[in-house]
Amino acid sequence: MNLDEIRRIRAEADCLVPPEVIDAALDRLAGEITRELADTNPIVFVVMNGGVIFAGRLLPRLPFPLETSYLHATRYGDRTRGEQLHWRAQPAQDVRGRTVLVLDDILDEGHTLHAILAHLRAEGAARVLCAVLVHKLHDRKAVPGMRADFTGVDVADRFLFGCGMDYKGYWRNAPGIYAVKGL
């Protein structure tokens, strides 16, 4: 893709969730997470790359002590369709007996997130929770009825970008949530 094409995608996209709605969702999520985890000394894992912007906006809103780290598992790379799960960076911290919160940008079908959560449980975490900024509305979840423990917004089943989600590696930095025109 050339730069003009990338710019055109953003210019023609439909804004599904404007930045001010994202901010309100982040404030609500911070309250819910604080009520649930403030006294648990959690480890918070950010799922790279999509979760980094979500985490950067959410973590400063959490007024309690926590450890942060990252992990990187993907099914997409720079493509628009998922493939087999690939670990690029497994969690380095010992999670045995700990409360763990995983932050990711989106729960689409959930295969990647489901595998990450299963891995952390198998490593001995006492409790594993997840928070996503976006829950995509459809019936193709890895586990029927799958939901994150904490969800910012529910969004239509379209090809999304912004707030950490990308279009072919671009526009993670868009301030709202956008859908590619026609997808």
Predicted confidence at residue 85, as pLDDT, reads: 66
**Residue with tokens 């090809």, as numbered in its chain:** 159
Question: What pLDDT, in 10s, does the model give residues 110-156?
Answer: 988 998 999 899 999 999 999 999 999 999 998 899 999 999 999 99
In a domain, 85, yes or no: no
Phi then psi dihedrals of residue 10, to 5 deg: -70, -45
In a domain, 146, yes or no: yes
Q: Is the CB of residue 127 less than 8 Å from the CB of residue 99?
A: yes
**Residue with tokens 């996503």, as numbered in its chain:** 132
> Domain residues for 162?
3-73+95-179
- Give this prediction's pTM: 0.91
In a domain, 60, yes or no: yes
Q: How many domains does the chain have?
A: 1
